[in-house]
Amino acid sequence: MIGVFDSGHGGLTVLHALTQRMPAASFTYFGDHGNAPYGPRPEGEIYTLTLAAVERLFAEGCSLVLIACNTASAVALRRLQQDWLPDAAPERRVLGVFVPMVEALSAVSWRDGAPGPKRVPEDGMVAVFATQRTIHSGAYPFEVGLRAPRMRVVSQACPNLVAAIEADEPEDVLHDLVTGYVAAMLKQTEGRVPEAAVLGCTHYPLVAHLFAAVLPSSVQLLDQPTIVADSLADYLTRHPRFAVESGQTGARRFLTSGDPARVAAFASRFFGSEVTFQAVGELNLL
């Protein structure tokens, strides 16, 4: 099994793309709905919860875990990979949705510095729309800056958007929120239009059509789930051991730290079809 972790529902948009890209692969999804949302939490709590979730998926038999949460990836991934994994689980791997997006923006491979396809000019501008915690982490401008120092990253927090999506607010309410975030971003750029935009939260694909409608037509809207799915498929090609260990039965399991009935009622909006969740108990912050 390949483990896929998110603080709630959002990672199901990534899981959907993964199953479309690799239909034979087997996946276990774990949503920490009992502690969601992660965005307003302090970084220390986000790291502790993310570590506990990875350990939970390892215990479920996953040798490879994808953190399908931008906030958790931005805050916790590097620390997990560098400080915890080498001693705690050296034969296992933890990946995140953050790295593929940085590679896509900078056109520089994380693993070896090899060039990739250019989506944004070297001296271009990209807008990142994300949760407040992801924006405050500074992860996107920092990591893109290491690989494409001439590129400008404009960071725009989108407070209340995740909550509005989760609450299934009417389209006009969501449209007004997105319009405000885009206007705030363009105010930062003093009217300059970025070449590309990243929806840096796995909830946001559900309102991608609104961003596309409000942003200037010349802005390329990068689809994070598709980019992540392509990246993971490439990783499994380069590391076939994890593909073999994950199994090729097309099995899907859905776990939650919340109320499985309540979680399942909303999950189909994110995954694209009905799913059944199994309760596994809350993660402990202590």
Ligand-binding annotation for 39, yes or no, is yes
> How much of the chain, in percent, has pLDDT values that exceed 90?
74
Same domain, 125 and 234: no
CA 152 – CA 170 distance, rounded (Å): 34
Q: Is the pLDDT of residue 262 over 60?
A: yes
Asked if the structure places residue 285 within a domain, the reply is: no
What is the domain range of residue 274? 2-97+225-279
- Say what the pLDDT of residue 286 is: 61
Ligand-binding annotation for 218, yes or no, is no
Per-residue pLDDT band for 164 (boundaries 50, 70, 90) equals very high
Q: Which two tokens stand for residue 226?
A: 């598709």
Ligand-binding annotation for 209, yes or no, is no
Asked if the structure places residue 284 within a domain, the reply is: no
From 104, 201, 215, 232, the catalytic residue:
201
Same domain, 198 and 234: no
Residue 23, classified by CB atoms within 10 Å of its CB into exposed (0-12), middle (13-18) or buried (19+), is exposed
Ligand-binding annotation for 112, yes or no, is no
Number of domains present in the structure of the chain? 2
Instruction: List the CATH number of the domain containing 49.
Output: 3.40.50.1860
Same domain, 154 and 235: no
Asked if the structure places residue 124 within a domain, the reply is: yes
Same domain, 93 and 229: yes
Same domain, 186 and 205: yes
Per-residue pLDDT band for 89 (boundaries 50, 70, 90) equals very high
Asked if the structure places residue 176 within a domain, the reply is: yes
Q: Which two tokens stand for residue 256?
A: 């939650």
Final residue before a domain boundary, out of 182, 207, 223: 223
Same domain, 69 and 156: no
- Say what the pLDDT of residue 116 is: 62
Task: Give this prediction's pTM.
Answer: 0.91
Same domain, 219 and 247: no
Same domain, 151 and 217: yes
Q: Bridge partners of 5?
A: 30, 67
pLDDT tens, residue by residue, 137-160: 999 999 899 989 999 999 999 999
Same domain, 72 and 112: no
pLDDT tens, residue by residue, 39-76: 788 999 999 999 999 999 999 999 999 999 999 998 99
From 25, 57, 69, 178, the catalytic residue:
69
- Say what the pLDDT of residue 111 is: 61
Ligand-binding annotation for 204, yes or no, is no
- Find all residues with CB under 8 Å of 278, minimum gap 6, and list them: 253, 254, 255, 256, 260
**113-142 burial string, b = 16+ CB within 10 Å, else e?**
eeeeeebbeeebbbbbbbbebbbbbebbbe
Same domain, 105 and 215: yes
Final residue before a domain boundary, out of 182, 202, 223: 223
- Say what the pLDDT of residue 36 is: 87
Ligand-binding annotation for 7, yes or no, is yes
Task: Please state the rounded mean pLDDT for residues 189-194.
Answer: 93
Same domain, 219 and 104: yes
Residue 154 near residue 120, CB atoms below 8 Å: no
Task: Please state the rounded mean pLDDT for residues 97-105.
Answer: 90
Asked if the structure places residue 275 within a domain, the reply is: yes
Asked if the structure places residue 204 within a domain, the reply is: yes
Q: Is the pLDDT of residue 83 over 80?
A: yes
Ligand-binding annotation for 71, yes or no, is yes
Residue 5 near residue 30, CB atoms below 8 Å: yes
Task: Confirm whether 158 is a catalytic residue.
Answer: no
Residue 202 near residue 14, CB atoms below 8 Å: yes
Residue 196, classified by CB atoms within 10 Å of its CB into exposed (0-12), middle (13-18) or buried (19+), is buried
Q: Is the pLDDT of residue 207 over 90?
A: yes
Q: Is the pLDDT of residue 102 over 60?
A: yes
Q: What is the mean pLDDT of the chain?
A: 92
Asked if the structure places residue 18 within a domain, the reply is: yes
- Determine the Cα angle at 227 with ends 221 and 230, to 5°: 155
pLDDT tens, residue by residue, 209-254: 999 999 999 999 998 999 999 999 999 999 999 888 777 788 999 9
- Say what the pLDDT of residue 245 is: 79
Same domain, 104 and 74: no
Asked if the structure places residue 49 within a domain, the reply is: yes
| Residue position matching structure tokens 């900078």 | 106
Q: What is the DSSP letter of 29?
A: E
In the chain, the amino acid numbered 82 is Q
- Say what the pLDDT of residue 40 is: 81
- Say what the pLDDT of residue 228 is: 95
Sheet holding 2-6, edge to edge: 93-96, 64-67, 2-6, 27-31, 252-256, 278-279
Q: Is the pLDDT of residue 113 over 60?
A: no
Per-residue pLDDT band for 196 (boundaries 50, 70, 90) equals very high
Q: What is the DSSP letter of 108?
A: B
